[in-house]
Amino acid sequence: MPWDIMNRPLSCVRLRDGQEKRLLPTKQKPKSKSDQMKIAKPAEQETNVFFNKYIDLVKHPDLLVALHENQDKMIRFFNAIPSEIEVFRYDTNKWSIKEVLMHLIDFERYFTFKAFVSMRNDNETALYHPGREHYLVNAYTETRSLADLIPEFISVRSSTISLFQHANISQLNHTGHHVNPNHAISARAMGFALTGHSIHHMQVISEKYLRLS
C-alpha cells in the first residue's frame, strides 16, 4: 500500500461503519505540562537491543508528535483495507490482518501499563514480557472486524497520549522492575517502542499481506 496516502493530518475520521470520530488536530497537539517540553528519544542506557528495533523505526524526535502522527497513519492504513481481505493470512500459521490490529491494541495496552507502573516509581510490581499468542487466542478476534477494532484502537491511543502528555522528566526516566533484565526499559523508551511496534506491523502487512491478497 502506498504510504503517501497516509501522510495528511486528520482532525476527523470517517470510520468503516460510516460514523465519524473527531481527533485532536495536528496543529494543536499538546506537549506535556509545559508547552516547551518535548519527550526526546531515550538514551542508550534506557533501553535494550530487543526494543531498539522498534524505537529506531520512529523518525520524529518528539514522542507526543510521533504518537499523533502514527495514529493518523494507522487509521488511514486500516480504513483503506477492504473488508473482504481482513481475514487474509499469507501463510497457514500467520495472523489475519484483523488479528494483527488486535495484537497492536492489546500490546499498546500492555506496554502503556508497563510505562504507567514505571512512571509511578513502582518497583514492587513485576513486569513481564507478555505471551503474544496467548493474548491473541483469548481475544476471540474471529467475532470482531476492522470496523469495530479501529475505534477501539483510537480509544486506546488517546489514553496512551494522555498518560505521556502529563508525565514529567523524572517519571519518563523511571524503569520499574522488569523480571527479565534484557527487557528493562524506561517509560520514555516504552512510548517510542510501542509507536515503532505499530510501524513495524504496518510494514509487514504492506509487504506480506497486501501484495499477496
Look at residue 16 and tell me if it is in a domain. no
- Report yes or no on 30 lying in a domain: no
pLDDT score recorded for residue 72 = 98
pLDDT of residue 133: 86
The answer to whether position 199 is within a domain reads yes
pLDDT along the chain (213 residues), means of 10: 49 66 52 66 94 97 98 98 96 96 97 97 92 89 97 98 97 95 94 98 96 76
Could you give the CA distance from residue 137 to residue 130 in angstroms, rounded to a whole number? 13
Give the pLDDT confidence score for residue 129 in this predicted structure: 85
Is residue 34 included in any domain, yes or no? no
Decide if 116 is inside a domain: yes
Who contacts 84 (Cβ-Cβ below 8 Å, separation ≥6)? none
CATH number for the domain including 161?
1.20.120.450
**How confident is the model at residue 148, as a pLDDT?**
96
Q: Identify whether 21 is part of a domain.
A: no
- Total count of residues recorded for the chain: 213
pLDDT at 35: 56
- Asked whether residue 7 is assigned to any structural domain, the reply reads no
Residue 10 in domain: no
Owning domain of residue 191: 47-209
Distance separating alpha carbons of residues 142 and 111, to the nearest angstrom: 24
Contacts of 160 (CB under 8 A, 6+ apart): 67, 108, 112, 191, 194
DSSP 199: H
Name the domain count of the chain: 1
